[in-house]
Amino acid sequence: MEEVRIINPFKEGNHFWLGLEEEGLRRKVFRVIDKELVNSERLVVGLTIFEPGERCAPHSHPGSEEFNYVIKGTGVAIDVTHDKETPFKTNDFIFIPDGVVHVHYNNGEEPLWLLWAYAPPGDMPTR
């Protein structure tokens, strides 16, 4: 049986940049809970930091539902599938149904810290 773990995302997480090849898509991702890091079978969790004006590329996680919690900052959740934009702010939760193509966009003046999780585990965006 696995034991309780305390994980510092900045020291122990799997961190990487996404979107470096395309202007406006750069963000720093800290994947903290997954099969590789903590032997999680049913969940992937991490933190993404977007600088002002940055966004992710449109993507989905087929077969998974996703939730986000806005730790700090503001932004817009873009539901590409349904052509809808919804603003969000610190302490908001965002739910993204299975298969919905979406974008997170930092429209604020400070970094956006977005805690995310999806289950069951699926593919991470590649850009």
Domain boundaries, the chain: 16-119
Cα gap 38→5, rounded to integer Å:
8
User: Which CATH number applies to 16-119: 3.90.1710.10, 3.30.750.24, 2.60.120.10, 1.10.390.10?
Assistant: 2.60.120.10
How confident is the model at residue 72, as a pLDDT?
Answer: 98
Is 126's pLDDT higher than 70? no
Length of the chain: 127
Distances (CA, A) of 53 to 16, 38, 62, 77, 107: 19, 33, 27, 13, 6
What is the tens place of the pLDDT at every residue in 41-50? 999 999 999 9
What is the tens place of the pLDDT at every residue in 69-122? 999 999 999 999 999 999 999 999 999 999 999 999 999 999 999 999 999 776
- pTM of the entire predicted model: 0.88
Cα gap 4→71, rounded to integer Å:
23
